[in-house]
Amino acid sequence: MKIQEIHIYGFGQLNNVVIKELSDFQVFYGENEAGKSTIMAFIHGILFGFPTKQSSELRYVPKNGSNYGGKLRILFDEIGIATIERVRGKASGEVTVTLPDGTTGDETLLKQLLGNMDKGLFQAIFSFNIHGLQNIHQMKGEELGKFLFSTGTLGTERLNATEAELQKVLESQFKPSGKKPEINEQLRAIQELSGELKKAASKNQGYEVLIKEKEAINQEIGETNQSLQIVKREADKLIEWQKIHSLVKEERWVSARIRELEDFSFPVRGIERLEKLNGLILPCEAQISSLNERIKQLKLELNSIQHQTQFLDEESQILAALEQIPFYDQLTLEKQQYELKLIDLDEKISSINEKLHLPLNEEEVLNINTNIYMKSQVEQVSRKQQRLIEVHQELEEKFQEEKNTLEELEAKVLSAQRQILPDQEREKLASAVNENDKKSTIELELKAIQDKIEYYQHSSEQDKEKIVQINKQKQIHFLTIGLLLLVLSLYGVISSQWVLLLIGVIGILLIGVFLSKNLKPKNDFTVNGPPSQLMDKEKELKQKLKAFNQSDILVIQEKLRRDHTFREQLQLLTIKLEQQQTQYDKVIRKFEDWEKEAAENKDLLLKLSGELNIPEYIANTFLLEAFQLIEQYKLAGREKRNLHARLKDIKLEQSAIKDRLSYFSKKYLANPEDEMSKIAFLLRDKLKVEHGKVIKSEEKLGKLNDLESDLIQLKQEQTHLIMERTKLLNEADVELEEAFYALGNKAEERDRLIERKADINKQLRYTSLEEHDIDKLLQIHNTEEMLTKYHKEMDLYSARLSELQENLAAASYKIQILEEGGIYSELLHRFKQKKFELREAAKEWAVYSLAQNILSQTVEKYKNGHLPRILAKAEEYLFFLTDKHYHRIHLQKSGTGFLIERCDHTLFEANELSQATAEQVYVSLRLSLAVTLYEKYQFPIIVDDSFVNFDGNRTKKVMELLTSLNTNQILFFTCHAHLLPYFHEENIHYLHKGSVEAIS
């Protein structure tokens, strides 16, 4: 997997940070507090969950209240790019996983993608920092070797720490020579109590005597019980012997007889093999005789079969000639069809000739040029000729239409010219109307003067009062608005909202300007002069009205209106007449163009008709049809020529086929035929007969070869069987079969005895008697008497045991009474309590001891299974890092440490190495663990300033090693500028305090 993009919503000091297009070896460089640790913790948090409140890890919750969490875009080899987003939610955050196909999931899907890897294991294997190297500096002696071993197995020192913790607990509970451990103290207390208990017991009268008596009884019970068991075992042996003595005796006799029959050797299943070989040899001899007879007969039959070799050699040519017969018939049919088609073509040519009626023969028609260009010209001329005829008709109709319209408009113009007034008369009437217009103007002016006089007289004072009232109301409204704007300005000053303040100030200024203008008194009803001037004007206008003569103005105005209408109509008709004249001229010009185009087309038509030998009277109307008929004539003529040529070829092909068949008929048939079907039948029949002879001959020859092959094989088998029989007799060291059979009978007896002995041994396998017991029992003849004796002894021992157990119970009861009497009982209780506490402590110690043992076994299993592969890769890395000075890492024979081998074969324990070399061993083990044991988890390897103590050469080597790890993405965090030259500039991302730039 490869992290391609980091998007931090809010995590620690980082807010809304996007880092894109991370490379396979990505370097994050920044000073302290630039965000390196925050980015590493963010990656761990998104993949495995945010630390809970109860956790000791830093949670990196943003202080400024921004969104807590973010997302990673990760490329998985199996599915593509998936987005993992985790934000504030439940304990470890709410996670959403989005796959490339749009599928979404939660923590379950994320665990599947990560292969159920947990945070602790990831940090131990794929994320290492300077703390691991610092631990190396602080360790000495055997601790360093154990730490490196733990690192090479788990990735951390947890194995070493667990082992040390178990050892510490065990030592705190018990040490063989210790005093302070808990179990040691309990043992010492029990010993002290035991002494006190014995002292208290001695103070009781007769207690010691009872104790000795009890011990004596216990001793006698043990001895009696032991004797009883001995007698019982002897009796059991006798009972068992009674069951198996007949089998043992038979086994001894069978073994002796087998030893007697061991002085000769005989082949395994010898008689069976000999009989089998004899059974095979006799049929072989009979089969050989039969095969010889059959071979002789087949050779005679082969000599009697003879076939024509030359005829069969020419079989392919004969068959090829015969296969031409259907083709010959097809050619005949084709010839008939072509002859009928020639008749049709002659009729078609005759019909075309009648339509064209040209004074030309067939050859001359075929020589007429009818190529594509000529056809195109004929089609164009014909289409143009047709179009010209249609255009001429349209022009005739248009000409007549435009001519009629023009004549109508000319008549209307003459009529309109007669209806208009002469110019002198019209001017006279217009002058009279102008005078009347001046009178109307004076009347209107007089009326206006009279209205003004009346207005000044009746309503001047009243209107002034209304205007004053309206102005006062406007001033009140504007003052109210100004007060509101003042409040708004004050609010803007208090809340530091300067926009509100600016709006309020501007509004107040505008209201102030408006009020200052409206406070000035206005009089909208003042006139240019006093009312006396209006009166004078009124008198003057009245005198002018008296000077006008009264006349019939309405009649004059009506005449002028009608004349104006006629003049407008004349003007409109004149315009239409001009337009119509233009249209008429256009039609005339189109006629001229048509005549020119028609003349050109006529010339081209005559030229084409001459080239095509078509008369002019036909070309004028039917040029295209005549051209098409000529094409059809030429097409039919060419087809006629082709048919004649094909008929000629057909005759030649038929003649060749017939001649070929006649040749074979004369050569191979006894009575040659002329008819082709008979020739074909006879030749095919002869081929069939000859092939039958060949097949029979081949079959006979094949059978002969098979029989000869079988004869050779049978003779070989016969020879082999005879040799095997001789070999079998030699193995038994005899020459005659009778002696072989006699020896075989003895071998069969020996085999039966061996088998019987095996059966007996199977039955004796489960007996409890030993071999020496059996040898001893074979010497005994009175087993029943001895068994009776053993039963009596067992009864006596059992009675004595019952008596002793009653005595022991009585003594124990007396001791119990004495122990319950005082201090002794209290001491005894404490003693038993301490013994119980000791058992519990021992149990707990055993648990830890067992855990230590299981851990040791697990480590041993790991050492034998997985560790060799890890060490092989670690040795490769160490060899490279140390510049070929150290090349092997060996396991300690005991314990969990390592021995490092130098190139001169000198071995060093971990504590004997320099600090830098020990660090190189640590780095080799960590990287080897990641790329071998956990190779299926291709997680990014996160390195946090782990090589700051290396010198220049060691640093260069470790950087080259990291660069070569192409299976895992490397995220390298550093605050040291001297490391940057080891990387490509495009792979370095610079972190700055307070900000993180996005990688482009």
Encoded tokens for 343: 């008749």
Digit-coded pLDDT (tens) for 961-975: 888 887 888 898 888
144-153, 202-211, 465-474, 862-871: least confident range: 144-153
Crossing angle of helices 315-356 and 616-668, in 10° steps, is 160
Residue 73's pLDDT is 92
Residues facing residue 11 across a β-bridge: 14
Place of tokens 């029943």: 784
| The model's pTM | 0.37
Which has the closest alpha carbon to 887: 869, 905, 870?
A: 905
Number of neighbouring beta carbons within 10 Å of residue 664? 21
pLDDT > 70 fraction of the chain, expressed in percent and rounded: 76
User: Per-residue pLDDT for 525 more than 50?
Assistant: no
Residue 926: pLDDT band with limits 50, 70, 90: confident
Sheet holding 104-105, edge to edge: 14-19, 2-11, 69-76, 80-87, 94-98, 104-105
User: Per-residue pLDDT for 511 more than 90?
Assistant: no
47-84: burial string, b at 16+ Cβ within 10 Å, e else: bbbbbeeeeeeeebebeeeeebbbbbbbbeeeeeebbb
Encoded tokens for 176: 């063989």
Strands 995-996, 988-992: parallel, antiparallel or unpaired by DSSP? Answer: antiparallel
User: 3-class SS at 914?
Assistant: coil
User: Per-residue pLDDT for 83 more than 90?
Assistant: yes
User: Per-residue pLDDT for 527 more than 80?
Assistant: no
User: 3-class SS at 90?
Assistant: coil
DSSP 8-state code for residue 65 = -
Element (H, E) at 167: helix 158-173
580-612: burial string, b at 16+ Cβ within 10 Å, e else: beeebeebeeebeeeeeebeebbeebeebbeeb
Element (H, E) at 390: helix 372-419
Encoded tokens for 577: 């007449």
Place of tokens 């809340």: 495
Digit-coded pLDDT (tens) for 292-324: 888 888 778 777 776 666 666 676 777 777 777
Encoded tokens for 845: 């110690």
Residue 69's pLDDT is 92
Number of neighbouring beta carbons within 10 Å of residue 531? 11
Place of tokens 């510490």: 168
Round to whole Å and give the CA distance between 133 and 138: 9
Round to whole Å and give the CA distance between 922 and 148: 6
- Do 416 and 570 form a contact (C-beta atoms < 8 A)? yes
Looking at every residue in the chain, the average pLDDT score rounds to 76
Residue 424's pLDDT is 78
The amino acid sitting at 800 is: R
